Amino acid sequence: MSRSERLLTLLDLLRQSRRPVTARQLAQQLEVSVRSIYRDIATLQVQGAQIEGEAGLGYQMASGFWLPPLNFTAEELEALVLGMRWVTRQADPALAQSASTCLGKVLSELPADLADRVIHNTLLVGPISPLADDADVAQLRSAIQAEFKVEFAYQDQVGQGSQRIVWPMALGYFQTALMLIAWCETRQDFRHFRVDRLQGLTVNQQARYPTPRRVLMSQWFEQQQIPKPLPI
C-alpha cells in the first residue's frame, strides 16, 4: 500500500469510529509502526483534516467534519474510471462530456501515484451500439428533471402503434435497450417504453405532472416488488 492510499485509509478508519482510536490500534490495522501513524496524523492535520486527540489518548475526527470528496482508494478509482468510460460511450453527448469533465477534475486533484493508476487504468469498455437517438435522450433527461409531461407516438414489439402522454420518471440503461419508466395517462398505470421506438417526441414545458417524481418512483418500486437502490 502506498503512503497516499494509507492516508486515505487512515481517514476512513477515523471517520468510521465513534470513539477515539489509539495509534497502536491504527498501526495494527494498517500494518505499520506506531511512529508511522504519528507522522501520518501530523501530515493529515497539516493538510486540513480536523483530527482531534494526542498520543497515548487516541484520535478521532472532529464532530461535523466531512471528508473531502476526492478521498478515493485505488479500487474506488478503478470503479469510477470504468463507469465514466461506459458513460462516455453510451450516454448522449451532453452527459458523455460531463463524465469526461468529471474524470478530468478527479485526475487533477489526485496524488501523483493514484493519478498514474487512473491514467494507466486497464479496465476498458468495448464498442457499444447506440441505444437511442441522442436528441430524444437529452430531451427525456431534461423532462425528467423538470417533471414535465411528454407526448410521443409509440410502436410496441408487435408493431402496434399508439399515441401516449406520459409522466417521465427515470431512464433504465440495459445492455441492448434504453427504457423510459413513466406513468402513462392512457393506461392509468406505470409503463415501460423502449426509447428507440418513440416517434415525434414532444416535451410539454407548460405542463408539470401533478405527483412528485420521488413519490411516483416509490410507488413504482413497490409495484415492481424490487428494493430501492442505495444512493450512489
The per-residue pLDDT for range 202-223, each reduced to its tens digit, is: 999 999 999 999 999 999 999 9
pLDDT of res. 232: 43
pLDDT-above-90 percentage for the chain? 43
Shared-domain flag, residues 11 and 57: yes
Does position 45 have pLDDT exceeding 50, yes or no?
yes
How far apart CA 227 and CA 211 sit, in angstroms, is 21
Structural domain range at position 31: 3-61
Does position 9 have pLDDT exceeding 90, yes or no?
no
pLDDT of res. 114: 76
Domain-located, residue 127: no
pLDDT of res. 228: 72
Shared-domain flag, residues 141 and 219: yes
pTM, to two decimals: 0.65
How far apart CA 194 and CA 115 sit, in angstroms, is 39
Of the listed ranges 116-120, 129-133, 172-176, 188-192, the least confidently predicted one is: 116-120
Number of domains making up the chain:
3
Does position 142 have pLDDT exceeding 80, yes or no?
yes
Domain-located, residue 207: yes
Q: Residue 65 corresponds to which cell in the numbers above?
A: 467534519
pLDDT of res. 33: 93
* Interval 86-103 mean pLDDT: 86
pLDDT of res. 67: 46
Does position 105 have pLDDT exceeding 80, yes or no?
no
How far apart CA 199 and CA 92 sit, in angstroms, is 17
How far apart CA 67 and CA 7 sit, in angstroms, is 12
SS3 101: helix
Domain-located, residue 66: no
Q: What is the pLDDT of residues 160-207, one digit of tens each?
A: 999 999 999 999 998 889 999 999 999 999 999 999 999 999 999 999
Shared-domain flag, residues 138 and 216: yes
Backbone angles phi, psi at 229, to 5 degrees: -70, 150
Shared-domain flag, residues 143 and 188: yes
